Amino acid sequence: MTGRQRREQLLDIGRGLFAERGFDGTSVEEIAAQAGVSKPVVYEHFGGKDGVYAVVVDREMQTLLGMVAGALHADHPRDKLESAALALLRYVEEHSEGFRIVTRDSHAASGTGSFASLISDIASQVEHVLAAEFRARGYDMSLAPLYAQSLVGMVALTGQWWLEVRTPSREVVAAHLVNLAWNGLSHLEEQPALGADS
């Protein structure tokens, strides 16, 4: 096995263990044992468990960000929302282990941060789409970050729930998310206020 192949093997094993047991529940000994190597081999490639974890988390975050960013190229805002929701749910479905890893509290070893920072990265991309729509409709563009965080958070938390239940289908879940978000956005009040009894 080449050094590159060994590195990928260790990452695959680490990814599976981190998804199943989390960072704290995984040890270098387990990674090495499943790979059929000694602990020093893991240290040689990654400097330890923290290094394996950092690369795994970084790859997962880049994959998810890439999928969502690629979905934001549709022409119509509703199509962008549909594509982004489907992309996130497709990631949940096709990269379940990775989603389990990034939705746990990321350990300090992760170079890219936590699930909250990932949501923030995705929301910043959505924010640009919303800002353009807000401008066109005469809404306060400074509120686009708030709405972007809300929309992305809604889809992400639904994705966490759906990861466990897997029903209804990805397309049905996305359709309901888009229904809630789009119809809510379609009827935004320019100056929302809480009721008098609040």
Q: Name the packing angle between helices 115-137 and 77-94 (round to 10°).
A: 170
pLDDT at site 137 = 82
Average pLDDT over residues 76-91: 88
pLDDT at site 158 = 92
Q: How far apart are CA 185 and CA 192, in angstroms?
A: 12
Are 65 and 27 within 8 A, CB to CB? no
**Per-residue pLDDT band at 113 (split at 50, 70, 90):** low
For the whole model, what pTM was predicted?
Answer: 0.79
pLDDT at site 48 = 94
Q: Using the predicted structure, report yes or no on whether residue 108 has a pLDDT greater than 60.
A: no
Q: Name the packing angle between helices 115-137 and 96-103 (round to 10°).
A: 90
